[in-house]
Amino acid sequence: MNSALKVLRKYYGYENFRGDQNNVIESILSGRDTMAIMPTGGGKSICYQIPALLFKGITIVISPLISLMKDQVDSIKDLGIGAAYINSSISQSEILNICSDLKNGDIKILYVAPERLESTDFCHLIKSMQVSQVAVDEAHCVSQWGHDFRVSYTYIWKFIDDFSKRPVVTAFTATATEEVRVDIVNQIKLNNPAVFISGFDRKNLKISCLKVGNRFQHMLNYIKTNGEQSGIIYAATRKEVDSLYEKLKANNISAGRYHAGLSSVDREKNQEDFVYDRINVIVATNAFGMGIDKSNVRFVIHYNIPKNIESYYQEIGRAGRDGETSECILMFAPQDIITQKYLIETSIQSPERRINEYKKLQYMVDFVHYNGCLRKYILNYFGEHVDYEECGNCSNCIRKGEYVDKTVDSQKVLSCIYRMKREFGVNMIVDVLRGSSQKKVLQYGFDKISTYGIMKNYSKSQLSNFINTLIAQGYISLKEGEYPMVILNSQSVKILKGEEKVVLKEPAKAEKIITNSDLFEILRSCRREIADEESIPPYLIFADTTLRELSSRYPVTSEQMLDISGVGELKLKKYGNRFLKIIREYVEKNKIQPSWFFKGDLQKNHEGKSNKLKTFEITINMIKDNMSIEEISRKRELTVSTVVSHITKYLEEGEKFNLNVKFDNLFTIDEENKVLKVIEKLGLSKLKPIKESLPDNISYDKIKAIILKDCILDN
């Protein structure tokens, strides 16, 4: 086994490298400058931390944010790795302590704020040590093209240039654009760097775009349904943040807020409450997020349209860093485009840049109206080739929600607008359609037009929701101005003439992103207790993924616990006993046979199974604990087919428990459709002819999984 992998397993407790991690690390270890571009949550930190441990001297990590730095250092110290940070919050005497630790070799990784590089004292100090690597995290901050430009990043090259023996220089970012990449190489003066660019897809993020009339109500339902989960709500302006915050509080939601109008003390406190799981949701402007490494953010809601795809993707990227299923919901209302245009007009001086921003905003608006796969749209925007038509995990690919023909009701609304002759806001139209006898309505003589009172069957809020939905869908336009006025457009004309139908999808009911089992909840409160005792955020102790694995595999010995992803040697030593005790009690009480869940023990326990779980029941338990088929097959070292056969057996035994089977990325919607079509023709009796009528890349595993899915839907 190579030494990097050993470190990964021993310290981090992870079984294998992800994506490019191994290649990046090898490149760094060979002494070559290296730049890695990986999506948020891709695991960039490990790429410079493992070489830092294997190199002789120290590694300096340049990182832009103080809050980020503290959490990062806490998290590696918690793994048993010597680390420290220096920024403006650290006193001179502490700095001296750190320096002596550096000299003694007690500290392998030193995080510094870029401003430090401007201090000659500091540079002098550093130059007297053996530095083997300078790692620049969030390297896009060096680029004026990026969104987080920092002047002090432009001094990095000088800092490196002054070493008598040049260290290996490495740079990391999630920003994908070509301009930024080129800037990083030039500005930091990377020396013939090896460049690694990973795919940007974040498969665990479900991407939804909703055009609902009543956004707040929808959001509230969603948050209530997902009560115990962490989420971020982005809004376009401070005013909107404040108003949403108040409304959520009034509805008893545990919420905080964050925007540049709050004092820095309040901002810091609210951010910390969120990171430490003291509040569930935070309502924020786009000022919030950099410096949030919290790995268990389960949803990100955009209450307003963001200014461009870059910001949008970065913001939704804050969900699901731990790789768990997470959801991103964009709620669209056309008024928001007007807000964004206003922000461009008032905040950008240069005419060229303004045009550029308008262009980017248009891509964002097109995204909202796009009918194809939303994930594919985004990846294509970043220049990434995608070889599927449907991802199966965005609101356009998931065929949930009922379609209803609303053509006649739409025609009523449109013809009313037409007959009112002048321009009005939504409320006035609602009043006329509902036959209100308000003074203004009568004054204009609207009680005389033929559409007066023809939609009394709608309540006031239902009707205004309906009209807002028509606006969101583009069947009516809004005219910009102090008060948005409703006007007809070419789309409206087609509807009025009966040339096109209005078919609306009723938005699917708010659903739970993920269900926590009771053991998960017990372990989670234990994690919180420890976090309080140690004053570090809970996710740093164990990620949600680790808790989930603990709660579905039931390790009861230290050895078994080490087999859980995210449990390294030090964490086992520090926290193992507390968690093991809980699991042992749980296993005892619920008569679970834990050793079934670990390799090697499987065969041993095959005999004498009378009062133990049958192998297929273990699979079912894991399904109930929310693990996907792929995960189960990996954890239990069974083929996908076997796992599928377990579920089938369970169903055949007549169990009617509502199984929520996660098929994840086992097959695409496209493949599913193909298989279903063939089955319709050939029937289900034999698999071989089905396989032979399909393209080669559709394996037996896939076919079996698709059949299972179809069968579950039928149940």
Angle at CA 531, nearest 5°, toward 528 and 535? 145
Q: Which residue has the tokens 């260290």?
A: 167
Q: Which residue has the tokens 């690694």?
A: 196
C-alpha closest to that of 62 among 204, 172, 184, 187: 172
Which span sits near ligand ADP by CB under 6 A: 11-19, 240-248, 327-335, 588-596?
11-19
**Does 315 engage in binding with ligand ADP (CB under 6 A)?**
no
Helix intervals (H) in 117-214: 120-127, 156-161, 178-188
Among 18, 77, 574, 634, binds ligand ADP (CB under 6 A): 18
Give the shortest CB-43-to-ligand ADP separation in angstroms.
Answer: 3
Which span sits near ligand ADP by CB under 6 A: 44-52, 99-107, 368-376, 509-517?
44-52
The listed partner (ligand ADP, Zn ion, Mg ion, none) that binds 594, CB under 5 to 8 Å by sort, is none
**Does 68 engage in binding with ligand ADP (CB under 6 A)?**
no
Q: Are strands 477-479 and 485-487 parallel, antiparallel or unpaired?
A: antiparallel
For 6, the token pair is: 């050993």
Give the shortest CB-257-to-ligand ADP separation in angstroms.
Answer: 24
CB nearer to Mg ion: give 44 or 307. 44
The listed partner (Zn ion, Mg ion, ligand ADP, none) that binds 379, CB under 5 to 8 Å by sort, is none
CB nearer to ligand ADP: give 33 or 78. 78
* 389, 222 Cβ separation under 8 angstroms: no
Residues 6+ apart with CB under 8 A from 486: 417, 423, 424, 425, 426, 429, 467, 471, 476, 477, 478, 479
**Does 193 engage in binding with ligand ADP (CB under 6 A)?**
no
**Does 42 engage in binding with ligand ADP (CB under 6 A)?**
yes
Q: Which residue has the tokens 């050993």?
A: 6
The listed partner (Mg ion, ligand ADP, Zn ion, none) that binds 38, CB under 5 to 8 Å by sort, is ligand ADP
Which span sits near Zn ion by CB under 5 A: 1-9, 36-44, 393-401, 604-612?
393-401
Q: Where are the beta strands (DSSP E) in 259-379?
A: 281-284, 297-302, 326-331
The listed partner (Mg ion, ligand ADP, Zn ion, none) that binds 42, CB under 5 to 8 Å by sort, is ligand ADP
* 513, 229 Cβ separation under 8 angstroms: yes
- Count each helix (H run) and each strand (E run) in the chain, helices first: 32, 17
Which residues from 276-295 bind ligand ADP, rule CB under 6 A?
Answer: 293, 295
Q: Which residue has the tokens 């999506």?
A: 39
The listed partner (ligand ADP, Zn ion, Mg ion, none) that binds 394, CB under 5 to 8 Å by sort, is Zn ion
Which residues from 340-379 bind Zn ion, rule CB under 5 A?
Answer: 373, 375
**Does 205 engage in binding with ligand ADP (CB under 6 A)?**
no
**Cα 173 to the chain's mean position, in Å?**
17
Residue whose C-beta lies closest to ligand ADP: 43
CB nearer to Zn ion: give 375 or 635. 375
**Does 134 engage in binding with Zn ion (CB under 5 A)?**
no
Q: Which residue has the tokens 């205004």?
A: 464
**Does 40 engage in binding with ligand ADP (CB under 6 A)?**
yes
Phi-psi region of 459 (alpha: psi -120 to 50; beta: other; left: phi over 0): beta
The listed partner (Zn ion, ligand ADP, Mg ion, none) that binds 373, CB under 5 to 8 Å by sort, is Zn ion
Q: Where are the beta strands (DSSP E) in 477-522?
A: 477-479, 485-487, 503-505
For 431, the token pair is: 């009043």
Which residues from 44-83 bind Mg ion, rule CB under 5 A?
Answer: 44
Among 27, 34, 45, 63, binds ligand ADP (CB under 6 A): 45
Residues 6+ apart with CB under 8 A from 541: 78, 527, 530, 531, 534, 571, 575
**Does 14 engage in binding with ligand ADP (CB under 6 A)?**
yes
For 378, the token pair is: 């985004």
CB nearer to ligand ADP: give 42 or 51. 42
SS3 of the chain: helix, strand, coil, percent, to 5: 50, 10, 40
For 5, the token pair is: 């992998």
- Chain residues in the site for ligand ADP (CB under 6 A): 14, 17-18, 21, 38, 40-46, 293, 295, 321-322, 543
- Chain residues in the site for Zn ion (CB under 5 A): 373, 375, 391, 394, 397
